[in-house]
Structure 1
Amino acid sequence: MRAPGKLAHRTTAVAAAATLLLTTGCQSIADAGQTIQPADLVNELASRLDQASALTYSADYQLVGGASARIVQAQNPQRTAYDYPGGKLIVSTDATTECDTATARPVCTLSTGPSPSTQPEPELFTDANDGGLIAPAVVIALLTATALDPAAVVAQNDTTIAGRHATCVRVSQVQTAAASRFDACVTTEGALGSFAGVVDGQAVEIAISRYSDTADETAFELPAGARSVDRRPGSA
């Protein structure tokens, strides 16, 4: 499993007073009759993604080249599974489970899970990013960095993805994030609808192909035949 570090310079999602004038002419997400500053726009989308951690859903994504990936999230207890080419990541308060599925027998490494009140750190998703799947936590960090960058330019449009309304932003000239330009769409529910950009030198392009308001419980199972290595404190 690749050691995290490529995303170390990414600005994490933090609360900030967004008073930056990045560009003009964008419509408000909440009220189309009002204008909204782009910094507020990207902060609102970041907040929508963050609040979606309380949702239960299954989202299938189409990747470049015909590959596919999946994000499944459930509550009570809160847990999220990320399936992508070459790997699988399961994040819960009990453990963070990283699986390498590129070998004949998958190997899954368990480590301490994140606090239930916080988003996982973007560095956790380095392997998923390399596999073509960008996680909402990474997009939150990119949007937050955009809001804090006075050089950034943001344009908005609305679209429909897999039958779901989504608000989209086209971002460019960002100086303080892992991606200097990217497109991101967030559905009304708060799921990541699509993303296209180069993140830490890795081209990523995904779009929802199917969305359900239920969680497929099999997503939280280890790959068939996987060998597990438990590195949590106190494990045998």
Structure 2
Amino acid sequence: MTTPRAPFAARFVAIPAAVVLTVGSLGCGVIDTVRNVVDTAGVLSEFSDRLGKAAGLTYTAEYRIEGSDSDTVSYVQQPPNTATVKGDGRMIFTPEHMIFCGPTAGRVTCQKAPNHAAATGDPTLLAGVAGPGFITPEIALGMVALAALVPDADVETSERTIAGQKSLCADVTGIKDPNAAADTVAQDFSVCVTESGVLAAFNGTTDTGENASLELSGYSDRVDGSAFAPPAGAEIVDVSVIQS
């Protein structure tokens, strides 16, 4: 999870150059679509740059989940380690291991498995720790990346101050699933990222159909190292693959 996010930028920032090379051979009817793709890719470039800066940050971000009266969810990063924490629930990633902790029969049990990068954005595992409504920075920024590939998508930016952090926001509308029926339109979403690259807010539906709505409620450039270890007294079970 803590590898630099530059591949997002490398993959999609190239879109404008490729589009410009083909503009001369396209009819007038598609010029507006081409321009929209270029603009969307430009927004993605800004967000990718910010996320790339955050890859090496040490910080603790606390999030308030809309519709939840329970404890806040913390996202803790101290490269190369990251953790999503809510009470005794934890999803921890280190270069060697993934650790998933949750209550089982009245006690805290943690599964410990070799690190598989593909599990970092598993919505089922995240929901098992943080509950519904929470997503990781990778998922939120990935949604913006997908929007850059949709010709009919519109992306507008604005600025907000969230939990004392100046943030750039993108409101994405008009997304159509190319594999769905012509009248099927995905829900719009918005995402905000701080100047340092920390996810500040997200509201909408992810590409996996999960509803998410969170906002930064606290930020610190310090971390509690215990976030990267199972809670005291937890039972630890070694597994090959973590099960939700």
- Specify the TM-score bucket, using the shorter chain as the normaliser: 0.7 to 0.9
Over 3 Å off, 4+ runs: 84-87, 120-123
The alignment's C-alpha RMSD in Å is: 2.7
What secondary structure does 2:142 align onto? helix
Q: Is the 8 A contact 2:74 2:86 kept in 1?
A: yes
State the SS of the aligned residue for 2:107: coil
Question: Match of 1:186?
Answer: 193
* Alignment-derived partner of residue 92 in structure 1: 94
Match of 2:122 in 1: 124
Q: Is the CA contact (8 Å cut-off) linking 1:145 and 1:176 kept in structure 2?
A: no
Residues in 2 aligned to 1:152 and 1:126: alpha-carbon distance in whole angstroms: 28
Q: Which of residues 34, 52, 66 is equivalent to 2:69? A: 66
| Counterpart check, 1:169 vs 2:170 | yes
* Preserved CA contact (<8 Å) 1:57 1:212: yes
Query: Is residue 2:53 matched to residue 1:39?
Result: no
Question: Following TM superposition, by how much is the alpha carbon of 1:108 offset from its aligned partner in structure 2, in angstroms?
Answer: 1.5
Q: How many residues align?
A: 203
Alpha-carbon contact 1:87-1:127 (below 8 Å) kept: no
Q: Secondary structure at the match of 1:106?
A: strand
- For 1:126 and 1:22, the matched residues in 2 are separated by 34
**TM, length-normalised to structure 2:** 0.73
CA contact (8 A) 1:56 1:73 kept: yes
Q: Which has the higher helix share?
A: 2
Query: For 1:18, which of 1, 15, 19 is the aligned residue?
Result: 15
- Give the unaligned 5+ runs of structure 2: 1-6, 17-33, 179-185
Q: Which residue in the other structure is 1:28 paired with?
A: none
Q: What TM-score comes out, normalization by structure 1 length?
A: 0.75
Q: Percent of aligned pairs with the same residue?
A: 29
Q: What's the offset of the Cα at 1:38? A: 2.7
Give the Cα–Cα distance (whole angstroms) in 2 for the partners of residues 44 and 180 of structure 1: 23
> What is the alpha-carbon distance in structure 1 between the residues aligned to residue 36 and residue 235 of structure 2?
49
The residue identity in structure 1 corresponding to 2:78 is A
